[in-house]
A and B are shown apart, each in its own frame.
Chain A
């Protein structure tokens, strides 16, 4: 669950807050769990909802940054894939701007459709699609830029 919270929080501290708040809700609302589906799934949903509620109390969840997507070659993405650890990937997700991160998390990890994301975040479907696209672009750029950090050969060389 902490991993889920890390994905939604902008840093580890916020993730801890989400986790704390989420578990308080879990314990105080345990009677609402109807034994339909797994308990883990229910707790996960509570955590996601808690994270979204925190986000809703912040300024609007729409376009924040312009992503420079001017022709970086991403053909070597597959090569990078194997070299990235889960922790590094989590760091990248956390580094995403809030609006992108939320949409990316909901779409990629929770399996929400754009319509559902739009309803959950009170944004338009177009905004959701746009945010997801921008999030992906942003991540690719980051991976490319920081490739030397993630490249094992380079790391070995540095050592």
Chain B
């Protein structure tokens, strides 16, 4: 009998050995199509990261653009543009760059001046020599009377600007000028200074006298700076001080006080605390592990069997205003998500320690379920059916975000970008297990989960100020996992969330 049994083995072994069957062409076509799909999927995943990086880059560019536009908007700082113009005028009239180092008359500046403005041209010609005249010394200053027609406002603006923008460089003027112009330049001696013109145009008085008169009305710091000067330079400083005095006497020629300077005084940069809560829409991105994925254990199966059911986030964030518009936020938040897994048959398998449990596969990892009853599963011979399976993951997150605030009255928009480090606090699966001995509900930990993962945040906060310190708002937010939540599992899972956070912020 035993021989016959072995004969059976030989009968089949020898009979089938070397036999070849023709493969239908449809099989090869299917293989080719599947390989193409697999390759497409590979490239899709490969370029997903590139796409994500591009998106972040675009957002940064957008934020940068918004910042630049906002910074240069005319309503923000009226004087900012006025100052720029005046600085340009100063540059043209003095033939110097704003740093007062380029003392040569700039041809480019002259060319950029409108050609039909003959007055300005004259002014430029006159003022190109002004510095030189000033450089010659105070002795030439009193000679400066109305020689060339000069618009009062323009000249005083120049003076104002010089006075306002370059207070620290006032003292460099004579030194620089002196260094480039010879003192015996007679032709230039007779030319008036634009500064002197401004003085003259106001009162038709020699600069020396005017400056002496104005000196009494100077602010303390200005006069003290003048007194600190070495004797040689004092007269030149006096000219500048004199301009300030001029501004003080005629407010109409002063540039308007900037909104920014007002805001700066009022602006309160500091800490703020915000609390938020949000229901999330979870959508996991699943990727097959090349080595571990196989039939029954791949992302397609996971997609079929699993469905995100409930998720929420809540947290506290501490914000610090880096600038008027830029805020850095960090804090702590909790994110909990649940996934429903379709009923399936599980088989007895050994776990890492060699103990036999029912093995349940899910996208997060493997779950080894031990029935509470006395009858334990035996290897290979036992199976059970699961029902109502829910896996729950809870993470403690530490987000860091940078937001840019665009104020619109009481409302403000704050696009933000950031990243978060998420620490696993709990990863459990609850399931109903039914086999031949009965049914019961049991829970078990998910193995294969990493202790942490990193995600990126993109959000757009809309805030409404209730008072000086309190504001409420909502923030549509997107969180994209940059690293998977599990390792050494057939399916790599990336947790992504979309949420609309609601919360309140209080200035500390």
Contacts and interface: CB of A to CB of B under 8 A. Distances in A.
A86 B348 CA distance: 37
Interface residues of B, number: 38
B34 A20 contact: yes
A108 B9 contact: yes
Interface stretch (B105-113, B241-249, B379-387): B379-387
B345 interface: yes
Contacts of A103: none
A contact patch SS: helix
B494 to A, nearest CB: 22
Contact of A16 (B15, B16, B24, B383): B24
Contact of A77 (B11, B15, B20, B24): B11
Contacts of A140: 4, 8
Residue among A53, A60, A84, A87 having the largest count of chain B Cβ atoms under 10 Å:
A60
B20 A16 contact: no
B361 to A, nearest CB: 10
Interface string B12-30: 1101100111111011001
B349 interface: yes
A109 B1 CA distance: 21
A21 B20 contact: no
A61 B27 CA distance: 28
A19 B295 CA distance: 13
Interface in B352-391: 378-383
Nearest to B22: A2
B7 A81 contact: yes
Contacts of A20: 27, 30-31, 34
B21 A108 contact: no
A151 interface: no
Interface string A60-88: 11100000000000110110010011110
B34 A24 contact: yes
B13 A108 contact: yes
B52 interface: no
A86 B27 CA distance: 22
Given A122-B347, A122-B349, A77 B7 contact: yes
B12 A24 contact: no
B148 interface: no
B5 interface: yes
Contacts of B381: 60, 62, 123-124, 127
B294 interface: yes
B35 interface: yes
B294 A53 contact: yes
A78 B4 CA distance: 9
A59 B16 contact: no
A125 B178 CA distance: 106
Interface string A121-140: 11110010000010010011
Contact of A93 (B5, B7, B12, B382): B12
A92 B15 CA distance: 12
A21 B295 contact: yes
Contacts of B12: 89, 92-93, 108-109, 139
Given A53-B295, A89-B12, A136-B5, A2 B379 contact: no
A127 B381 CA distance: 9
B383 A23 contact: no
B49 interface: no
B438 interface: no
A114 interface: no
A90 interface: yes
A139 B35 contact: no
Nearest to B31: A23
Contacts of A59: 345, 383
Nearest to A27: B35
A100 to B, nearest CB: 12
The 4 closest A-B pairs by CB, nearest first: A86-B19, A123-B380, A57-B296, A122-B380
Given A2-B23, A21-B295, A89-B12, 14 more contacts: A2-B22, A19-B23, A28-B290, A60-B382, A75-B4, A77-B4, A77-B7, A84-B15, A90-B16, A90-B21, A93-B16, A108-B13, A118-B380, A123-B380
29 contacts: A16-B23, A16-B27, A19-B27, A23-B31, A24-B34, A24-B35, A24-B38, A28-B38, A28-B290, A54-B295, A56-B296, A75-B4, A77-B8, A81-B11, A81-B15, A89-B12, A89-B15, A90-B19, A93-B12, A107-B9, A109-B13, A122-B349, A122-B379, A122-B380, A123-B379, A123-B381, A124-B380, A136-B8, A139-B8
Interface of A: 2-3, 6-7, 16, 19-21, 23-24, 27-29, 50, 53-54, 56-57, 59-62, 74-75, 77-78, 81, 84-87, 89-90, 92-93, 107-109, 118, 121-124, 127, 133, 136, 139-140
